[in-house]
A and B are shown apart, each in its own frame.
Chain A
């Protein structure tokens, strides 16, 4: 089992790597950029930020301080307020109603801070941070360890690669990728593609309206998964020796079962129940008219 899982993980990494939007053009601020603000901040204090556009590199560190480096263009103004006991608020404000100011910031925060970051179309790359992250059409990539992650986009891309007990991610037509080692995941898109490649998930709810959902990973023993879509395709690529009970149903779609050597526990035109291996995990799949594909590798 070990070999096949590792091969599958490698394959998933390649697939996801190809799917993740290119970040080559991101102009992140670096450690040589000027310090714009530096303040004492107690771990656990809240930090609220509005950074409309540009790039943001967020790093959780093991110090009780907040340091902001980077560049804010003349069309924008950095507003900063608060105290270490109540937390801080950081806002990049637009001067004279022109274009959204494209700032490039490198922000260090205490690792246990509860962040609230809102952007319009900024590209955010974050490590070891927790909290609520919102964008209209920007991108988020979050890795490292987090106590919880709640990431929302109207149409932007989200790439979660963190180790966290709880992650929630929602987007409209953006591309949503769940990898890393999350434990409980609630992820959904409307028309966007949803890719999952994380074998650590114990509870997972994955939904879309028209977007395709791809799951390509091993399944943790005793995991509980629910995947549903209206008209997207749900594609499960599972290890050959997976241990799971699958309950697949569709109102008006097709079910394509790749585990042909296993006799189904129940089978109809629009539903299929399969017990694979010791049937330790539970996977429920529902579609209205989307296709359900179950494949083994």
Chain B
């Protein structure tokens, strides 16, 4: 199902709710931490879900959520409403995750640029052919690079050019990674 970018869809408010959230943001921009707590409580579940899907680990995801909201607080004065707050927060959280991986020089960044899908082939060969698994488990089996592209494109709704800009891989590589990730997931999900 093609949905609008998930952050936008999840926090789809009527005008009244949107106005209240706008007021919270304005107060937070003026330095009101209590107001920012309201922003945090409204958006933390979606940001956590994003981080968890990208890194596949609860503990790391909670660390990333903290980093993302501290970063959001620092950057909030620059938020001018060109996008919805949810979209802005998701973009910021994605950058926090990618920066952490870059700083660790992790395999994820190397695997992002894996146009031949070597890592994916290895996953499929390791998977037990007799056992279908649930989607959350299957996603954790993907190499981090492929998972990142899959999460950013199919769940967060970013276009390949945007993913290319964020991650530094070519748009074509992003497309190839995505196709292969979907195929691998389809196979992993089969009973």
Direct contact of A and B (CB under 8 A): yes
User: What is the minimal beta-carbon distance from A249 to any residue of chain B, in angstroms?
Assistant: 25
Chain B residues near A4 (CB-CB < 8 A):
none
Contact A184 B82 (CB under 8 A): no
Contact B80 A86 (CB under 8 A): yes
Given A85, A86, A87, A148, which contacts B2 in the complex, CB threshold below 8 Å? A148
Contact B3 A166 (CB under 8 A): yes
Q: Does A183 contact B (CB under 8 A)?
A: yes
How does the 8 Å CB contact mask read for A134-177 relative to B, with 1 for contact and 0 for none?
A: 00000000000000101000000000000001100000000000
Contact B4 A148 (CB under 8 A): yes
Chain A residues near B82 (CB-CB < 8 A):
85-87
Contact B80 A165 (CB under 8 A): no
Chain A residues near B4 (CB-CB < 8 A):
148, 150, 166
User: How many Å lie between the Cα of A142 and that of B2 in the bound state?
Assistant: 19
Q: Is the interface of B mostly helix, strand, loop or mixed?
A: loop
How does the 8 Å CB contact mask read for A167-211 relative to B, with 1 for contact and 0 for none?
A: 000000000000000011000000000000000000100000000
Contact B2 A183 (CB under 8 A): yes
Contact B2 A184 (CB under 8 A): yes
Given B2, B80, B81, which contacts A166 in the complex, CB threshold below 8 Å? B2
Q: Which parts of A62-101 form the interface with B (CB within 8 Å)?
A: 85-87
Chain B residues near A183 (CB-CB < 8 A):
2
User: What is the minimal beta-carbon distance from B95 to any residue of chain A, in angstroms?
Assistant: 20
Contact A203 B81 (CB under 8 A): no
How does the 8 Å CB contact mask read for B118-142 relative to A, with 1 for contact and 0 for none?
A: 0000000000000000000000000
User: What is the minimal beta-carbon distance from B22 to any residue of chain A, in angstroms?
Assistant: 13
User: What is the minimal beta-carbon distance from B37 to any residue of chain A, in angstroms?
Assistant: 28
Specify the chain A residue showing the minimal Cβ separation from B82.
A86
Q: Does B59 contact A (CB under 8 A)?
A: no
Q: How many residues of B contact A (CB 8 A)?
A: 7
Q: Which parts of B1-36 form the interface with A (CB within 8 Å)?
A: 1-4
Q: How many residues of A contact B (CB 8 A)?
A: 10
Specify the chain B residue showing the minimal Cβ separation from A87.
B82
Specify the chain B residue showing the minimal Cβ separation from A165.
B2
User: What is the minimal beta-carbon distance from B25 to any residue of chain A, in angstroms?
Assistant: 15
User: What is the minimal beta-carbon distance from B117 to any residue of chain A, in angstroms?
Assistant: 26
Contact B80 A184 (CB under 8 A): no
User: What is the minimal beta-carbon distance from B4 to any residue of chain A, in angstroms?
Assistant: 6
User: How many Å lie between the Cα of A172 and that of B178 in the bound state?
Assistant: 40
User: What is the minimal beta-carbon distance from B12 to any residue of chain A, in angstroms?
Assistant: 8
User: How many Å lie between the Cα of A184 and that of B9 in the bound state?
Assistant: 15
Contact B81 A184 (CB under 8 A): no
User: What is the minimal beta-carbon distance from B182 to any residue of chain A, in angstroms?
Assistant: 16
User: How many Å lie between the Cα of A87 and that of B83 in the bound state?
Assistant: 10
User: How many Å lie between the Cα of A203 and that of B3 in the bound state?
Assistant: 12
Chain A residues near B80 (CB-CB < 8 A):
86
User: How many Å lie between the Cα of A132 and that of B1 in the bound state?
Assistant: 18
Contact A86 B81 (CB under 8 A): yes
Chain A residues near B1 (CB-CB < 8 A):
165-166, 184, 203
User: How many Å lie between the Cα of A262 and that of B1 in the bound state?
Assistant: 32
Chain A residues near B81 (CB-CB < 8 A):
86
Chain B residues near A85 (CB-CB < 8 A):
82
User: How many Å lie between the Cα of A166 and that of B3 in the bound state?
Assistant: 7
User: What is the minimal beta-carbon distance from B19 to any residue of chain A, in angstroms?
Assistant: 14
Specify the chain A residue showing the minimal Cβ separation from B80.
A86
Cβ contacts A to B, 19 pairs, < 8 Å: A85-B82, A86-B80, A86-B81, A86-B82, A87-B82, A148-B2, A148-B3, A148-B4, A150-B4, A165-B1, A165-B2, A166-B1, A166-B2, A166-B3, A166-B4, A183-B2, A184-B1, A184-B2, A203-B1
9 additional contacts, CB 8 Å, given A86-B80, A166-B1, A166-B3?
A85-B82, A148-B4, A165-B1, A165-B2, A166-B2, A166-B4, A183-B2, A184-B2, A203-B1
Nearest 6 A/B pairs, CB to CB: A165-B2, A184-B1, A166-B2, A86-B82, A148-B4, A203-B1
